[in-house]
Structure 1
Amino acid sequence: MSRAVCPGSFDPVTHGHLDIIARASALFDEVIVAVGVNPSKRRLFEAEERLDMLGRACAGWRNVRVEGFTGLVTEFCANQGARAIVKGLRASSDFDYELPMAQMNFALTGVETVFLPTSTGQSFVSSSLVKEVAAFGGDVREFVPDFVHERLLARLAER
Structure 2
Amino acid sequence: MTNRLARSVPFWVLVLASLASIGFGLWIVLSKIAAMSSTLADGSATYEQVYVNPVWIGFGGVFVGAGIVGLLLVLTLAALRSALPTPVTEAAVVEETVIVEAAPVTDEAPVFEDADVETSATDAAPPAAAAEAAAQAEAEPESEAPEKR
- TM-score normalised by structure 1 residue count: 0.17
User: Higher relative contact order by CA 8 Å / sep ≥ 6: 1 or 2?
Assistant: 1
Higher helix share: 2
- TM-score normalised by structure 2 residue count: 0.17
